[in-house]
Amino acid sequence: MYKLKIISSTVRPGRKGPLVAEWIAGLAKETGDFDVEVLDLGEINLPLMNERMHPMLRKYEHEHTKKWSALIEEADAFVFVTAEYDHGYPSPLRNAIEYLVHEWAYKAAGIVSYAGISAGTRASNDLKRDLATMKMVPLTEQVNIPTFTHFINDQNEFVPNEMSVKAGQNMLKSIVRWTKGLKLIKEDQ
C-alpha cells in the first residue's frame, strides 16, 4: 500500500473543499492501493512562512514546520484538492508548498480542481507548474469539476457525477503507476 496524502487547500469559513477532499479520499480507499490521510490546511493552520533558514537546508525552528515536514516526508504520493480563486489556486496552498523543498520531491501529484464554469482548470495549470518546480510529477490525469455547488446535496455532502468518478478512478490508477516508478528514483537520490 502507498501512503497517499490528500491536501485540501481552502481555509475560509464556509469552504466546501473538505467535502470534495473526503469524496476523493473515499474513492482512493476503495482501490485498496492506498493508506489515505486527508490534510486539511484549514485545520493545520500554517502561518505565513516564518522560518529564518531557507527550506532547502531543512533547519526548521518551529514545531509547526517540523510536523508539516514529517507529514509530507512520509507520503508516497499526493492529491491536491483546490478551488480556483481569482484564476489561481488559494494562497494557503502555495504557502504550504513553499514551507518545504526536499519532502515533496519524486512523488506523483494528482489534482482535483473545482470552481464555477472554469472547473478550476486555471488553478490546476498554475499548481502543476509550481509542483514541477518541487520535483513532483503532476499528472495529466486529473479531475476538474465545473459548477461544483450543483453536486452538494441537502445533507452538505459532495455527490459527484459519473464523469467525475471516472476521472478520479483514472487519476488514482495513474498515481499508482507513477508511484511505483518514482520509488526507484527516490531511493537513488
Place of cell 455527490: 159
Buried b (16+ CB within 10 A) or exposed e, 15-46: bbbbbbbbbbbebbeebebbebebbbbeebeb
Instruction: Determine the pLDDT at residue 184.
Output: 86
Amino acid in position 6: I
Closest CA to 188 of 105, 128, 77, 108: 105
Distances (CA, A) of 42 to 32, 39, 153: 27, 9, 22
What is the value of pTM for the model shown? 0.96
Paired with 43 in beta bridges are none
Closest CA to 90 of 55, 122, 59: 122
Instruction: Determine the pLDDT at residue 176.
Output: 98
Query: What number is the average pLDDT over the span 59-71?
Result: 98
Q: What percentage of the chain reaches a pLDDT higher than 70?
A: 99
Angle at 53 between CA 79 and CA 70, to 5 degrees: 35
Q: What is the pLDDT of residues 148-187, one digit of tens each?
A: 999 999 999 999 999 999 999 999 999 999 999 998 888 8
Say how many C-beta atoms besides its own lie within 10 A of residue 128's C-beta. Answer: 19
Q: What are phi and psi of 31, to 5 degrees?
A: -70, -30
Q: What is the pLDDT of residues 7-60, one digit of tens each?
A: 999 999 999 999 999 999 999 999 999 999 999 999 999 999 999 999 999 999
Question: 2-187, superfamily in CATH?
Answer: Flavodoxin domain (3.40.50.360)
Amino acid in position 142: Q
Is a pLDDT exceeding 70 seen at residue 189? no
Query: What number is the average pLDDT over the span 79-108?
Result: 97
Instruction: Determine the pLDDT at residue 104.
Output: 98
Is a pLDDT exceeding 70 seen at residue 73? yes
